[in-house]
Structure 1
Amino acid sequence: MTPVSSHSSMRTVQVLGGGNTAGGAHVRSLAAGLVARGVRVTVCAPVEADRTYDFTGAGAEHVHVPRSSDPGAVAALRAACTGADLVHAHGLHASFRTALALSGRRTPLVVTWHDRAYAEGPRAHFLRVLERRAARAATVVLGTTSVLVDRARRTGARDARLAAVSLPGPRTSPVPDDPDRLRPKVRAELGATGRPLLIAVGSLERHRGYDVLLDAAHAWRRLDPLPLVVLAGEGPLRGELRRRIEDEELPVRLVGRREDVADLLAAADIALLPSRWEARSPLAQEALHARVPLVATRVGGIPELVGDAAELVPYGNARALADAVVRLLDDPERREQLAQRGARQAATWPTEDETVAQVLSVYDELTRPAPLI
């Protein structure tokens, strides 16, 4: 653990909306690192987020603030931020609420954009308005990808920078199962014994591209042995996807939200990421760490994140997605090459320690007393 430093006089408030998995894991990791360096940390988030990420277990104080932007929630957030040296909001909605709560105060506001918010129709315009207001209210906007940094600048951010964001490791260290025994066990549970296993993980929402994935699955039905596609996640499209899988007799299983994604990936032959947009996708990072070949769409921050360690295809092109998978299944040497490249690429990503150090340097810059003239 890093020894307590002069930062023991600093108090920060981390604000989380509670809906983004990557954001919640990042705030937990950041809180733990800041506390280890002597910073006093308060995390404002829904109570269910503290149950999931255990901010108090990281040494932070947790204050329940609901996701809504009603006056009561904003007032609770404003009270929690009283006396803070700096406030750091994560995600669009949390950033907007925090900007409202800090209105009229000179407290520095750091905003991290982990991803983009999605909507269609009138709500899409509403989200663009929130983006502009949050970006312009922030002292510094940190984007997890260059694409998000550019978006923040176009939206009106005074200062937008690329953020170092690590993939947090597990909070506990149980004795792992023997991978040689675990892999066949997981594959048998999923029904993938003696056949290729393709894994996709993420919320069952429109922007994830699962409709395209089901289109691609038609091409895989002619393969022998027949690959099995497993989708791990929950969301509003579950019913629609289930009906398509049944009506079209597709080799796809919906397994719901899973806590053993690492085990699923370890058992997989290929990981799939067919999204319309991704920033620093946790699935992409976990797949490369696990040396599992990845087929992903060439969108958002994915090319920057994976480099040459994945097969990239255009979004919405089911034929390109299907063909990339077929080529990999037929080419074990290419799969091994991607596995090795993935491990090398993962080694270039920032560690949790480096992420905390970068964020703390921003905090120091924004809270440093002005020089006397």
Structure 2
Amino acid sequence: MKRLRVLHLIDSLAAGGAERMAVNLCNLLNERGTPAWLCATRAEGPLLEMVADTDRYIFLEKRNALDFRAFTRLIRFIRRERINVLHAHSSSLAWAVMAKYFADIKVVWHDHFGNSEFLDSRARLPIRLFTRSVDYVISVNEKLQRWAIEKLNIDEDKVSYLPNFPMLSPKQTRPDRHSKRDIPVIICTANLRAAKDHHTLIKALALVRNDGIPFKLWLVGADFNDTYSRSLKQLIHERNLSGDVEFLGVRTDITDLLCQADIGVLSSVTEGLPVSLLEYGLAGLPVVATAVGQVPEVVGECGVVVPPKDVEALAAGLKKFLCDKERRRQLGKKFNERVEERYSAAPVYDLL
């Protein structure tokens, strides 16, 4: 059997879930002895710092969908490195399929679509056009797997659900979260986008503050300084939470931040399988998250899962942890064990 030589194709290295998985998979394959490369087509970004071997990285500087120069560089790279599997993430599907006509490769499409609650409105025709030429499809949750079979007419034996998995930098000696600080820190690692629904989180924390319960909230993720961002900051001001909320922006020291936090939260209205949630678990954080995408299955009985857009339920879930250090410790430990067993790099590699 020919040895696998895999190229992961991703649009950019911005701080997003699909991008993190492209980097994680490339790093994992190389770590386990399967040669793998990473290609960013359009833009680089902060996740470049996470690429373990930059000698196995290429940036195409793609200017538009018909950039012949960039596409030629891709084909030359595939031939030179004797790539035989092109693993296309999300919107890289089209270029991967086109590359198949110029190189002897198999194409795997990794569907990271994050709006799993709104699949009925997802355009099918262009995706179906390109997936006719792919050899395999990987979906980040079970809803997307079913959608691929039922709506894209992909054979069941050519599509599978592969969980996302986190890869944090080596753990430092973790500080004792339960004795050295009086005010618990809640962390939310999610870019400032409408799908993440930070507004419901802020409204829930206003209820918490009204009950006299102290906290700090760290918002980690890209701030696009758009209407959503401005309205969120206005809401924080109106609810008198400016002193309780910190915007930390895009960070590459996620491990350090998680080690300093006490509670992980996600208030999304839609998700696939959020890498942030898995990182909370790997860091031993108790979690409060909304019941969207694969979240309920990931959390199980090891955290608090609430309906999306339910301010009161989200507030109640956060209060359970803010007011009970021992509960935080116990469920943080349980969630850590669950993620290590089911969603860490080792079990996911076995599925590959």
TM-score range, shorter chain: 0.7 to 0.9
1:241 matched to 2:232? The reply is yes
Q: Letter of the aligned partner of 2:100 in structure 1?
A: L
| Corresponding residue for residue 30 of structure 1 | 25
The one of 136, 139, 142 equivalent to 2:138 is: 142
Q: State how far apart, in whole Å, the 1-side matches of 2:97 and 2:303 are.
A: 39
Asked if the contact 1:89/1:98 (under 8 Å) is kept, the reply is yes
Q: State how far apart, in whole Å, the 1-side matches of 2:151 and 2:204 are.
A: 36
1:211 matched to 2:203? The reply is no
Higher relative contact order (CA closer than 8 Å, sequence separation 6+): 2
Flag the 1:43–1:283 CA change in 2: closer, same or farther, 3 A.
Answer: closer
Q: State how far apart, in whole Å, the 1-side matches of 2:34 and 2:282 are.
A: 31
Q: Deviations over 1:88-147 (max 9, x none)?
A: 1112x11233223335876321111234269x9xxx76x544433344332110112222
Q: State how far apart, in whole Å, the 2-side matches of 1:96 and 1:272 are.
A: 35
| Corresponding residue for residue 84 of structure 1 | 83
* DSSP 3-state at the match of 1:195: coil
**Any stretches of 5+ residues in structure 2 without a counterpart?**
none
Asked if the contact 1:164/1:354 (under 8 Å) is kept, the reply is no
Q: State how far apart, in whole Å, the 1-side matches of 2:64 and 2:29 are.
A: 27
The one of 36, 39, 45 equivalent to 1:44 is: 39
- Shift, 1:219, TM fit: 0.5
- Shift, 1:292, TM fit: 1.5
Asked if the contact 1:87/1:108 (under 8 Å) is kept, the reply is yes
* Map 1:90-239 → 2, pairs under 5 A: 90-91=89-90, 93-103=91-101, 107-116=105-114, 128-156=124-152, 157-158=154-155, 159-170=158-169, 173=170, 176=172, 179-180=175-176, 194-236=182-224, 237-239=228-230
Q: Letter of the aligned partner of 1:179 in structure 2?
A: P
Q: Letter of the aligned partner of 1:101 in structure 2?
A: A
Q: State how far apart, in whole Å, the 1-side matches of 2:31 and 2:184 are.
A: 44
The one of 287, 292, 302 equivalent to 2:295 is: 302
Q: Letter of the aligned partner of 2:297 in structure 1?
A: E
Q: State how far apart, in whole Å, the 2-side matches of 1:265 and 1:90 are.
A: 27
Flag the 1:226–1:20 CA change in 2: closer, same or farther, 3 A.
Answer: closer
| Corresponding residue for residue 346 of structure 1 | 339
Q: Letter of the aligned partner of 2:107 in structure 1?
A: L
Aligned residues: 335
TM-score by length of 2: 0.81
Q: Letter of the aligned partner of 1:109 in structure 2?
A: V
- Shift, 1:79, TM fit: 4.3
Q: Deviations over 1:71-98 (max 9, x none)?
A: 434444344444632211112x112332
Q: State how far apart, in whole Å, the 1-side matches of 2:217 and 2:177 are.
A: 21
**Any stretches of 5+ residues in structure 1 without a counterpart?**
1-5, 185-192, 360-373
* Map 1:330-341 → 2, pairs under 5 A: 330-341=323-334
1:283 matched to 2:272? The reply is no
Flag the 1:97–1:155 CA change in 2: closer, same or farther, 3 A.
Answer: farther
Q: Letter of the aligned partner of 1:77 in structure 2?
A: L
Asked if the contact 1:77/1:98 (under 8 Å) is kept, the reply is no
Asked if the contact 1:199/1:229 (under 8 Å) is kept, the reply is yes
Asked if the contact 1:292/1:339 (under 8 Å) is kept, the reply is yes
Asked if the contact 2:177/2:260 (under 8 Å) is kept, the reply is no
What fraction of aligned residue pairs are identical, expressed as a percent? 22
Asked if the contact 2:89/2:112 (under 8 Å) is kept, the reply is yes
| Corresponding residue for residue 364 of structure 1 | none
Q: Deviations over 1:38-69 (max 9, x none)?
A: 65444321462584333643x52525253742
1:317 matched to 2:314? The reply is no
TM-score by length of 1: 0.77
- Shift, 1:155, TM fit: 3.1
Q: State how far apart, in whole Å, the 2-side matches of 1:153 and 1:252 are.
A: 43
Q: Deviations over 1:286-345 (max 9, x none)?
A: 222222210000000111222211100011111111121123333444333312321221
| Corresponding residue for residue 362 of structure 1 | none
- Shift, 1:256, TM fit: 1.9
Flag the 1:225–1:355 CA change in 2: closer, same or farther, 3 A.
Answer: closer
Flag the 1:67–1:328 CA change in 2: closer, same or farther, 3 A.
Answer: farther
* DSSP 3-state at the match of 1:137: coil
Q: State how far apart, in whole Å, the 1-side matches of 2:178 and 2:44 are.
A: 31
Q: State how far apart, in whole Å, the 2-side matches of 1:326 and 1:38 are.
A: 46
Q: Deviations over 1:127-174 (max 9, x none)?
A: 54443334433211011222221222233133211225432232xx59
Q: Root-mean-square deviation (CA), in Å? A: 3.2
